[in-house]
């Protein structure tokens, strides 16, 4: 995104309307996002801690039928898993990574599980009752990062400030929304979760989660989560391996929200205030 010039260096564009009259347009007007209110600071409390498999480079996390479905990344070791919430035990694992396939976000919608990949432009679709083998694949022109759904469309991020609203049957893009805060476009939107009409997104390499209004793309809230690794499992941090915050799951039946990170030994149940 190009930076807008300061007011002192305004450029005046001249255009003609249908009557031939000249109209002066001032592009130096403040960008729309500069008039947006800052996102609300959303407080939270950690109400429970659970074990998490440290081999899981978490890319996607969802609660379905009382279990975690987790998509993990990294070449060769990318996987799709079914995990017991309380024990962290991996009950089922489908290894799908290769030297060219890097697993990304997952989402379950209408009995199908969709799994993105990073740079290979493939989307794997599984019957949620059998994660051993995809039933179809789609080509996706962008990088795969995070994915969720709003009950009608799949919603996908690609590392930019864009969210793509996609038809789940054809994988055609229906709409694109740019995500912005009062500071400008929000890049690196990673794992996504749709909760009570809003999209919650990890921001890659950060220690915060943003809350997005899907009707506008505006960031309306932010959950700051600094220092979880140091506070809750300092002695279990493995340099160059224990990675960043990533993973949001919502259990609509219990109203519980869960978060974790890539190769973290813990997963947290949080309550928003």
User: What pLDDT does residue 272 have?
Assistant: 97
Beta strand pairing status for 40-41 and 219-224?
A: parallel
**Separation of alpha carbons 138 and 121, rounded Å:** 8
**Mean pLDDT, contiguous 10-residue spans, the chain (273 residues):** 37 38 48 83 98 98 98 97 98 97 98 97 98 97 98 98 98 98 97 98 98 98 98 97 98 97 98 95
* pTM of the complete model: 0.88
What pLDDT, on the 0 to 100 scale, is given for residue 28? 55
Q: Which residue has the tokens 């740079």?
A: 119
Element (H, E) at 232: helix 228-233
Which class does domain 36-272 fall in?
Answer: mainly beta
What pLDDT is recorded for position 167? 98
Task: Say if residues 61 and 191 touch (Cβ distance below 8 Å).
Answer: yes
Residue 85's Cα: distance from chain center in Å? Answer: 21
Q: CA dihedral defined by 131, 137, 139, 142, rounded to 10 degrees?
A: -10
Closest to 148 measured CA to CA, from 93, 76, 92, 196: 196
Partners of 16 in the β-ladder: 22
């Amino acid at each position: 995104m190009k930076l807008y010039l300061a007011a002192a260096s305004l450029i005046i564009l001249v255009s003609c309307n249908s009557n031939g009259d000249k109209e002066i347009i001032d592009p130096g007007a403040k960008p729309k996002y500069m008039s947006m209110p800052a996102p609300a600071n959303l407080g939270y409390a950690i109400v429970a801690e659970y074990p998490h498999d440290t081999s899981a480079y978490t890319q996607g996390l969802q609660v379905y039928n009382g279990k975690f479905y987790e998509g993990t990344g990294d070449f060769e070791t990318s996987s799709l898993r079914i995990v017991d919430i309380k024990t962290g035990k991996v009950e089922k694992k489908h290894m799908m990574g290769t030297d060219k396939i890097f697993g990304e976000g997952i989402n379950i919608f209408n009995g199908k599980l969709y799994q993105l990949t990073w740079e290979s432009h493939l989307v794997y679709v599984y019957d949620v009752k059998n994660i051993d083998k995809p039933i179809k694949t789609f080509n996706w022109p962008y990088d795969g990062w995070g994915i969720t759904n709003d009950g009608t469309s799949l919603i996908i991020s690609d590392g930019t400030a864009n969210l793509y609203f996609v038809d789940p049957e054809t994988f055609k893009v229906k709409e694109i929304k740019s995500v912005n805060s009062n500071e400008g476009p929000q890049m690196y939107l990673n794992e996504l979760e749709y909760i009570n009409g809003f999209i919650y997104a990890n921001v890659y390499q950060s220690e915060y989660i943003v809350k997005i209004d899907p009707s506008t793309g505006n960031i309306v809230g932010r959950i700051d989560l600094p220092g979880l690794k140091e506070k809750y499992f300092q002695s279990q941090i493995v340099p160059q391996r224990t990675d960043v915050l990533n993973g949001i799951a919502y259990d609509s039946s219990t109203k519980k929200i869960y978060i974790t990170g890539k190769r973290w030994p813990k997963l947290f149940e949080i309550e928003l205030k």
